[in-house]
Amino acid sequence: MRTHPIAITLLLTLAALPAGADTSAADLPVTRVTLYTSGVGYFERAGSVSGDAAETLLFPVGQINDVLKSLVMLDTGGGTIQPVTYAAQDSLGRQLQAFSIDLSDNPNRATLLNRLRGAEATVSYTDNGAPVKVTGTIMGVETQTVSLPNNGGVTQQSTLNLVTPDGLISIPMASITAEKLTDPKLNEELNQALTTVAQSRSATKRAVTLNFRGKGSRPVRVGYLTEAPLWQTSYRLVLGAKPVIQGWAMVQNTTQDDWKNVDLSLVSGRPISFIQDLYTPLYVPRPVVQARVQASPTPQTYASDINAKTPEGVNNIVATVQGDNSLVIQDTPAPAMPPSGGFGGGGGFGGGMPGSPSVGGAMFRNRDAAKGESSFADAARHSIASSGAQLGTALFAYQVKTPVDVPRQQSAMIPFLSSGIHVEEVSIYNAAVQTDHPLLGARVKNTTGLHLMGGPLTVFDDNAGSNGYVGDALIDDTEPNQTRILSYAVDQALDAETKPGEGSGDLQSIVISQGTLIATHKERQATIYTFKNHSAKSRTVVVEQPYPGDDWKLLEPKEVTEHTAQLDRFDLAVPAGASKSLTVTREHLENQTYGLLDTGFDDLTVFVNTTHASDAVKAALKDVMARRRHIGDLQRQIDSRKAQLAVIAQGQTRIRDNMKALDHASALYKRYVNELNTQETQLENLQNEIDKLTAERDQRQAELNNFVAKLTVD
C-alpha cells in the first residue's frame, strides 16, 4: 500500500497532540484556591519561567468562557505579558477556509492537486516498473478515457499534468507514489490546516497558551475563575460547662490538578456570577450597500453620578501594580480571632493518633501537635487553624491557615472554625410543630467573631454518656453577635398543653366619615400555655406564637422576649417537678363600615340607640333616616299610581274587545264609549301625578346623596 506525505503529516500532527493530561501542572501548579457559594472558584497558579516562555493549560470546553472572562497574569520578575492564544471555537469548515489550501470538504488527492495548480512539486512515480522523480509546476488533474488492451473496453483514468523544464508531461495518478511541495510556506499552510483538523477531534478540552517575554528565570502568577461545586458547611456543637462550636467545610476538587500545599479560602455569600459566551466567534449578517461619504459623528460623553457614595462598613479593596509588575493589595485588616489552641493531633472528637491526620482525602500539616484530650469540648478546641475576614457587606471569607492537599477528583472535610460560644440551653414550644412536648434546643449567640454560614449541626453533650450525641439541628446564616435558636430533640420530660383563654368583643365608638358609618369594635383574644416539668432540672421554655400583626396590642405579658417577622417568643421558667402556665393576651380594634344610603333601618336604629354614639352622630343618623323614609314614601306613592294605571289599562283592553262585537248604534256600545272617555281622563291625571312624584323623589334623592357625601360627624 502506498503512503503519501500528506497522510504522514496528518498522522504526525495527531500524534503530537496532548493525550488528556495537563502537562502544565508541574510548571505552574495550583497554589491558591478560593471557593465561593455562587458556584465558582478562583484558582491561582504560580511558578517560574525562563526567557521567552509559553505555558499551556488545558481546560474543559465548558470552562473556557469563565477563563476568558477572568484570566489575570502577572510577571513579577521584570518580564512582560504577551497575548494569550487559544484554539478557536469556530466551525471546522470555517476555520479551514481561512487557509490558502482549502481542506474543508475533505478533498481527495486529485481535487487537492487541482487546488494546488501553479505550485511547484516533486512527483515520484513508476514508468514500466522503473522509479522516476520529476519536478515541475502543477497544471492540474484531468480525467481521460483510455482503451483497455485486448479489446477490454474503455475506462476513466486521472492524469496529473505537470509543466517541467522539458515540457508538459502527463503522469497517471495510479502510478504516482509520492508528491512533495517544494514551497516551504505552502507546506506550512498545509500542515497548519491538518493540525486544525486534528485539534477538532478533542471535544472535551481546549488548550490556552500563556505567553511571557523576558530575560532570565523569574516568578509568574496566573489566576482565573471557573465553575466549581458549592462548598458546604456542617457544625458540631458541644454542650456543657464550656460550650464549643466546631465548623467543617466540605469541598470537592473536581479539577484535573492535584491541590498540593494549597492556600485555601472559603467565601460565603452570593456574589452575582454569570456565563457569557466569549469563546464562540460571532458573525453579524451585514447588508451590502453603496459606498457613501458621511461626516463623522460627534463623540458623546456621559457624566458620573455626583451623589454616589461608598456605604459605611464596606471595605475599600485597592490593587496596585508596581513598577516591577508586583501586585499590592490593600484592604481593611481581618478582625482579631478569639484565642484558641493549635491544630491538634486528635483531629476531632474522641482524641486520636498524634501527627498529621488525613481527613476526607485532605492532608493537613500540623505545626503544633497537641496532646490527646479528655473531653469532647477539649478535643474540639484543638482541631482548627483558620481566620475570617468580612469582605464588604455581602461576603465573608474563611482563610485556612494550614495549607491543604486534596487529590484531583476527590473531596475533603476541612475544619474552618473552632471556638467557645455562648449557649443557653432551652426548650422550644410551638403548638404548630409539636402539641404535647416542647423541643430540646439552645439559644446560641455567635460570639466566635466569624460569620457562620448555614448548614446542619450535630449536637453533643459532655454529660450525655460515652458518645455524647444528643441530636441534629439546622442553623441559618448567622452574623457575629447575632442570636439564633436551634432545636435537636423532643423534650419528653416536659408535657405541654395549649387552650384558648377568655376573649371578648365590644363596640367602642361610632363615627361618620363622608357618608360611611364606621363602627369600631375591640376584640380580645387569649391563649393559655401550661407545662409540667417531670425532670430534676429546671427548664427555660421558649414559647413561640404566630405574630398577628402590628394592629394587635400585647396586653399580657408586658413584652416579648424575641420577635421575628412571623413569630413572637416568650421565655417561661419552669422549676423542676413543677407546673407553670403562661397566658398571652392580645387585643386589637376592628372597624366595620356601613353605607348610610343602603344599610337597613334596623341596623341604623341599633346605632342610634347605643350609648357609644355621640348626640351629633345620632342626630345625623335620624336626619338620614327621615330623608330616606320620605323618599321611600314618595316611591310608594309612585308605585301605587302605577298599579292603578295597570288596572285601568287592563279594563280598557277588555272593553275594546267587547266593543268589537257590538253595533255602534247600540246603547251598550255608547256606554262603553263613555266609560273609556272617563278612564282616559283618569289615566291622564294619574300620569301627571306620577311625573310630579318622580321629579320630587329624584330631587329628594339628589339632596340626600349630596348631604351624605359631605357628612362627617364624630
Q: What is the pLDDT of residues 665-703, one digit of tens each?
A: 888 888 888 888 888 888 889 899 999 999 999 999 999
Nearest of 625, 601, 646, 630 to residue 693 by alpha carbon: 630
**Cα separation, 74 vs 28, whole angstroms:** 12
pLDDT at 556: 92
Handedness of CA 5, 8, 12, 13 (dihedral sign): positive
pLDDT at 391: 56
**Cα separation, 33 vs 399, whole angstroms:** 10
Residue pLDDT, tens place only, 585-601:
999 888 889 999 989 99
Tell me if 337 sits within 8 A of 387, measured CB to CB.
Answer: yes
Query: Which of 56-60, 193-197, 581-585 holds the top average pLDDT?
Result: 581-585
**Cα separation, 683 vs 645, whole angstroms:** 6
User: Confidence class of residue 204 from pLDDT cuts 50, 70 and 90?
Assistant: low
pLDDT at 88: 62
DSSP single-letter state for residue 165: T
CA distances to 29, 127, 508, 617 from 611, in Å: 88, 131, 10, 11
Q: What percent of the chain has pLDDT over 90?
A: 27
Q: How many CA atoms lie within 13 A of 481 on its CB side?
A: 0
In this structure, how many other beta carbons lie within 10 angstroms of the beta carbon of residue 18? 14
pLDDT at 658 over 50: yes
- Which comes out higher in pLDDT, residue 91 or 80? 80
**Cα separation, 372 vs 424, whole angstroms:** 28
pLDDT at 342: 29
In the numeric block, which cell numbers belong to residue 355? 501527627
Residue pLDDT, tens place only, 500-542:
988 777 778 889 998 899 988 888 999 999 999 999 999 999 9
Q: Which amino acid is at 307?
A: N
**Cα separation, 713 vs 707, whole angstroms:** 12
Nearest of 630, 712, 656, 648 to residue 685 by alpha carbon: 648
In the numeric block, which cell numbers belong to residue 370? 497537641
pLDDT at 166 over 60: yes
pLDDT at 293 over 80: no
Q: How many CA atoms lie within 13 A of 569 on its CB side?
A: 16
Residue 311 preceded by cis peptide, ω within 30: no
pLDDT at 251 over 50: yes
In the numeric block, which cell numbers belong to residue 392? 464588604
Nearest of 486, 488, 443, 480 to residue 461 by alpha carbon: 488
- Which comes out higher in pLDDT, residue 569 or 316? 569
pLDDT at 230 over 90: no
In the numeric block, which cell numbers belong to residue 628? 330616606
Global pTM value: 0.56
Tell me if 138 sits within 8 A of 115, measured CB to CB.
Answer: no
For every residue of 486-544, DSSP letters joined together read: EEEEE-TTEEEEEEE---EEEEEEEEEETTEEEEEEEEEEEEEEEEEE-SSS-EEEEEE
Identify the bridge partners of residue 552 per DSSP, sorted by sequence position: 588
pLDDT at 544: 93
Contacts of 606 (CB under 8 A, 6+ apart): none
Task: Label each residue of 325-368 as H, E or C.
Answer: CCEEEECCCCCCCCCCCCCCCCCCCCCCCCCCCEECCEEECCCC
Tell me if 298 sits within 8 A of 288, measured CB to CB.
Answer: no
DSSP single-letter state for residue 173: G
For every residue of 22-66, DSSP letters joined together read: -GGGTTS-EEEEEEETTSEEEEEEEEEEESSEEEEEEEEGGGHHH
Contacts of 334 (CB under 8 A, 6+ apart): 387, 388, 389, 390, 399
CA distances to 50, 303, 304, 310, 489 from 307, in Å: 49, 12, 9, 10, 53
CA distances to 238, 371, 547 from 418, in Å: 11, 17, 36
User: Confidence class of residue 202 from pLDDT cuts 50, 70 and 90?
Assistant: low
User: Confidence class of residue 497 from pLDDT cuts 50, 70 and 90?
Assistant: very high
Question: What is the overall mean pLDDT for the chain?
Answer: 77
**Cα separation, 32 vs 403, whole angstroms:** 9
User: Confidence class of residue 333 from pLDDT cuts 50, 70 and 90?
Assistant: very low
Residue pLDDT, tens place only, 307-332:
334 334 333 333 333 333 333 333 33
Residue 641 backbone phi and psi in degrees, to 5: -65, -35
Tell me if 399 sits within 8 A of 414, measured CB to CB.
Answer: no
- Which comes out higher in pLDDT, residue 503 or 646? 646
pLDDT at 100: 56
Q: Which amino acid is at 552?
A: W
Residue pLDDT, tens place only, 428-478:
999 998 899 999 999 999 998 888 888 899 999 877 655 688 889 988 888
**Cα separation, 710 vs 714, whole angstroms:** 13
